[in-house]
């Protein structure tokens, strides 16, 4: 992200804290739940622009990492989205919450996501649908020079599906939520809420957000993370724990790494 990323992060998080934003976040978690229920492994990573919007609470995976470019209450890994200090093939499930559309090079971010994801790992990408009422509002916001929407570079699900195919990740499904924003109050709000629920249940492609689910194929090739190695920085290894009744241990940062990895809730050093 640009030098304005802290402000953009705050504005997006503030947008999700509004009434409709909270409603959308609930719908989003409901859309993710069926996939997270069947996504197993040792490590789940969420990449996000709005640190306050965690989406992996319903996952059965014990070790959870929240990666963002700015520190926050849920952030355990501070890192650039296109330079994750994680070993290749180390993440079992990856959630990207608006990670592609608020950066200068979404394709580089997607390649990095593919690199750290383990073969047969689940990739869940959440993005604003440009072909929706919410997408139209974002376009008007860019015309009106709204800083948040000016920083957004929409990536359609069709374009994203093509990129994923080239990277050896096969799309399994694409869900849409927030087809009819429940604005207003009283009878109008109730009517729009019912209409939105109907739109979500029929997965109409007019939803304001899409949730694209892809699986990394076994034969997919990883591009080495050369820029970190050339600077003398090391990657964080995520060890696979031996079977036991206790939760999987958190990985320790490799000496020499310039990134920060901490458990959620810990104070920053």
Tell me the per-residue pLDDT of 177-208, one tens digit each, with 9 for 90 and over: 998 877 777 888 788 888 888 888 888 888 99
The answer as to whether 256 is a domain residue is no
Q: Is residue 263 part of a domain?
A: no
Q: Do the Cβ atoms of 94 and 136 come closer than 8 Å?
A: no
79: CATH:
3.40.50.150
Number of domains forming the structure of the chain: 1
Q: Look at residue 233 and tell me if it is in a domain.
A: yes
Residue 192 lies in a domain: yes
Give the separation between CA 101 and CA 97, rounded to whole angstroms: 9
Answer whether residue 255 is part of any domain: no
Q: Give the integer Cα–Cα distance in Å for 110 and 200.
A: 26
Give the Cα separation of 31 and 114 in Å (integer). 22
Q: Is residue 247, in this structure, part of any structural domain at all?
A: no
Domain membership flag for residue 246: no
The reported pLDDT for the residue numbered 245 is 43
For the question of whether the overall pTM of this predicted structure is more than 0.75, the answer is yes
Report the distance separating Cα 177 and Cα 20, nearest Å. 12
Parent domain of 213: 5-239
Reported as a pLDDT band with limits 50, 70 and 90, residue 262 is low
Q: Is 245 inside any structural domain?
A: no
Task: Count Cα atoms within 13 angstroms, Cβ side, for 1.
Answer: 27
Q: Is the dihedral of CA 82, 88, 90, 93 positive or negative?
A: positive
């Amino acid at each position: 992200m640009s030098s304005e990323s802290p402000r953009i992060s705050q504005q997006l998080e503030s947008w999700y804290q509004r009434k409709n934003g909270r409603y959308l976040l609930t719908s989003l978690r409901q859309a993710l739940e069926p996939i997270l229920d069947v996504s197993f492994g040792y490590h789940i990573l969420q990449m996000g622009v709005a640190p306050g919007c965690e989406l992996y609470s319903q996952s059965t995976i014990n070790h959870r990492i929240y990666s963002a470019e700015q520190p926050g209450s849920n952030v355990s890994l501070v890192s650039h989205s296109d330079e994750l200090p994680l070993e290749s093939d180390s993440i079992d499930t990856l959630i990207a919450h608006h990670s592609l559309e608020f950066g200068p090079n979404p394709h580089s971010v997607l390649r990095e996501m593919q690199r750290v994801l383990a073969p047969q790992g689940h990739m869940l990408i959440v993005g604003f649908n440009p072909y929706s009422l919410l997408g139209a509002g974002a376009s008007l916001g860019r015309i009106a020079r709204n800083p948040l929407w000016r920083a957004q570079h929409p990536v359609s699900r069709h374009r994203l599906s093509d990129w994923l195919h080239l990277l050896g990740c096969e799309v399994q499904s694409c869900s849409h939520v927030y087809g009819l924003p429940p604005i207003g109050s009283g009878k109008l709000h109730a009517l729009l809420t019912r209409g939105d629920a109907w739109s979500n249940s029929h997965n109409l492609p007019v939803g304001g957000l899409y949730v694209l689910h892809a699986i990394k194929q076994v034969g997919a090739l990883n591009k080495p993370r050369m820029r970190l190695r050339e600077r003398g920085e090391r990657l964080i290894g995520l060890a696979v724990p031996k079977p036991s009744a206790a939760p999987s241990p958190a990985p320790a940062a490799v000496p020499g790494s310039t990134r920060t990895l901490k458990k959620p809730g810990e104070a920053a050093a």
